[in-house]
Amino acid sequence: MRIGIDCRFAATPSGLGRYTRELVTHLLKRSDGIEYVLFVHSQNEVWLPKNCILKIADFPHYSIREQIYFPGIIKQSSIDFFLSPHFNVPLRCSIPFIVTIHDLILHEFPHEALLWKRLAYRWQMNHAIRNSDHIIAVSEYTANDIRKHYGDRHISVIHEGVQSSFSPKSSEEQQRVLQKYNIKKSFFLYVGSNKDHKNVPLLKKAAHLSGVSLLCIPESIGTVPDHDLPALYSASTAFVTASLAEGFCLPAVEALACGCPVIASNCGAIPEVTKGHATLIEPTVNAFTQAMKNPPPRPSPIRLYDWQNAAQKTAAILVAHRSVGGAARRFPSPF
């Protein structure tokens, strides 16, 4: 069985990039009798595993060129199935496909995108969900959102993972990273974008009122590579997020793996994925001000999810498709 995977997001320093890199890396370590073809921007991307089949698909995401030329490259690759880690599946894709849906946040916060982007998003998401053979949702919260907006679908919930490098770091490693970024005083940590639903202004106001320092990544010090993040989690007073909607919230579970307290809003998938290990509060200035004045003690590190499990469950879906026949469409979850 030959599976093609869209890896064009993999080189980006984003949650989607990390999801793609880690999932593909762990799928390739398995022996399921599946041959993988990776569609990439460049064969020189440093993350790429060795001994894999590469196909160059150097088209900008959401572009006309992507819609015109990418379907042909997919078809010419002689794959039985196409796995997309994002809803951006080409509209003219003629190969059966599985798609991962991370969230439907633009359904809830449409003002975060320009009108033409909202229309393109709706069109693309509608295509991905309604024409997929199977949907992977990264949380029960996202799966329920899909059912709410698109009706009953064949959906498997497969949580994301946490890299093994996310663990408590020594005081020496913490000092090395703090010096590298010129951080000289204690701080609360936020990792994520400044999109409206992330509610970052609330965090800043709460930090100001409570008289503490808030370090926002990437806003405060720029993009931080994965190998430095565990030391920052380990050195911080707590990780904080006041987000109003999350499909998963990877930084929260990474923080927990590093033994970092988590203060988070009780919104979206956050209660689900933190499994009772975070301090969950209402997303109000007063609630976060009080929590920052009286942060929770450092917990024992806990790794709630791993990429091996995510890869195992994803491979099970691919094998289930093989068992019902490559031409079959829309099959139920194998677990």
Q: Where are the domains of the chain?
A: 2-161+307-324, 171-293
- Our CA angle for 108, 114, 116, nearest 5°, is 105
Q: Are 315 and 321 in contact (CB under 8 A)?
A: no
Quote the pLDDT of residue 74. Answer: 94
Fold of 171-293: Rossmann fold (3.40.50)
- Our CA angle for 91, 96, 98, nearest 5°, is 85
Burial class (CB in 10 A: 0-12, 13-18, 19+), 135: buried
Quote the pLDDT of residue 253. Answer: 98
Quote the pLDDT of residue 51. Answer: 72
Quote the pLDDT of residue 60. Answer: 83
Whole-structure pTM value: 0.92
Quote the pLDDT of residue 329. Answer: 52
Decide if pLDDT at 328 tops 70.
no
Chain mean pLDDT for the chain: 92
Decide if pLDDT at 332 tops 80.
no
Amino acid letter at 49?
A: P
Query: May I ask the CATH class of domain 2-161+307-324?
Result: alpha beta
Non-local (6+) Cβ contacts of 196 within 8 A are 109, 111, 112
Residue 89 token pair: 């599946």
Domains 2-161+307-324 and 171-293 in one fold: yes
Q: Which residue has the tokens 């200035």?
A: 285
Please choose, from the candidates 186, 177, 214, the residue with its C-alpha nearest in 3D space to the C-alpha of residue 289. 214
Decide if pLDDT at 327 tops 50.
no
Decide if pLDDT at 243 tops 50.
yes
**DSSP string for 127-195:** HHHHH-SEEEESSHHHHHHHHHHH-S--EEE------TT-S---HHHHHHHHHHTT--S--EEEES---
Quote the pLDDT of residue 6. Answer: 95
Q: What is the CA radius of gyration of the chain?
A: 20
- Our CA angle for 307, 270, 251, nearest 5°, is 50
